[in-house]
Amino acid sequence: SKQNEAQVLQAMKVGKDALQKMHEQTSVEDVLDLMDEIKEQAEVEREISGILQGVPELSVEDEAAVEAELAALFLEDNGIVDQLPEVPQTQPLPVAPTTPLP
């Protein structure tokens, strides 16, 4: 029907106007530059992935050591290390009494 054709033509005009407005705001050169930047970032990601694939997995002991070091760095960065009491290294722990207390 003529009404449907008019609606289709109107929709096409709105679409054309939207594309025209988008093209006024973004040039072909802008799109090409963006695509080049995306390609560069993808290449960097591939390089990083390749480097990380060559890193051996950490043993349980190594992972625990890394986590302990990370925790110590976190405490140090937040100024918490200076607030912690010192743990005696040479003094033995007292022996608990074996007889009933009064």
| pLDDT, tens digit, 9 for 90 and up, residues 29-51 | 999 999 999 999 999 999 999 88
Average pLDDT over residues 74-99: 76
Average pLDDT, the chain: 86
Place of tokens 């990380």: 52
Place of tokens 């051996």: 56
pLDDT-above-90 percentage for the chain:
36
Place of tokens 């072909």: 28
**What 8-state DSSP symbol labels residue 54?**
T
Task: Report the alpha-carbon distance of residue 50 to residue 44 in Å, rounded.
Answer: 10
Task: Quote the pTM value.
Answer: 0.39
pLDDT-above-70 percentage for the chain:
93
Contact (CB, 8 A) for 58 and 66: yes
Average pLDDT over residues 44-62: 86
pLDDT at 87: 72
